[in-house]
Amino acid sequence: MAQVPKAQSALVSLDPKHGAIRALVGGMGFELSKFNRATQAKRQPGSNFKPFLYASALRAGITPSTVINDAPVVLDNLAAAEIWRPENDSGKFYGPTRLREALAFSRNLVSIRVLQRVGVRAFIRYVEALGFDTEGMQANLTLALGTHTFTPLEIATGYAILANEGFKVEPWLIERIENADGEIVYAADPLVACPDCANTDSDAAEEVRMEGHPRHRGT
């Protein structure tokens, strides 16, 4: 490229079956920056974090058919000493909504009410059990909208649990190391069962794939 772009991005491609990292890109190049955005850059995941909230809801006994109202909510933001009036990305409200539809179409107001039902502290414990770093996580309802920061690698690892039907995997780069005699001195030991991780929301994810995100449908 003739010019280095001001904005850079990162990519993590991870095999959910056993955690093998197939590709990892941390920026334009190591010679330009020693900062690896895939493993070091913590950013707000936004709605990408909602599947973990809905997974915790299913574990708490809320079902995909549970109806929750997508309606305005007004909350005190004690930290900022102001009133918080969250909205959907479309600016619209959709009324009574099934849980699976709320996830598929990323309904913010339903997500906030789901977190109210699950409990903020209980949700933090849940994502910590999944392997997320919860240090510094603010215990408030904004977590429903993905306000805490994580690296792309952390998010990819969390999604691997959902894709792998409840198996918790640790990402790894090196499959094995052999010495000069061809003897294996190190071998990755990938799969680690996680019985506490729910097998969750694949149906809703399929609905997103089949029908598309509402942002792309004009809603």
Q: pLDDT tens digits, residue range 14-48? A: 988 888 999 999 988 887 788 899 999 999 999 99
| Confidence category of residue 213, pLDDT binned at 50, 70, 90 | low
**Closest residue by Cα to residue 167 from 12, 1, 31, 17:** 17
* Model pTM score: 0.80
Residue with tokens 């930290």: 79
Q: What Å distances lie between residue 61 and 5, 58, 141, 207, CA to CA?
A: 47, 5, 20, 21
Q: Residue 110, exposed/middle/buried by CB under 10 A (0-12, 13-18, 19+)?
A: buried
Average pLDDT for 82-96:
92
Q: What is the CATH number of domain 11-216?
A: 3.40.710.10
Angle between helix 202-211 and helix 50-59 axes, rounded to 10 deg: 140
Spell out the domain ranges in the chain.
11-216
Q: pLDDT tens digits, residue range 94-118? A: 999 999 999 999 999 999 999 999 9
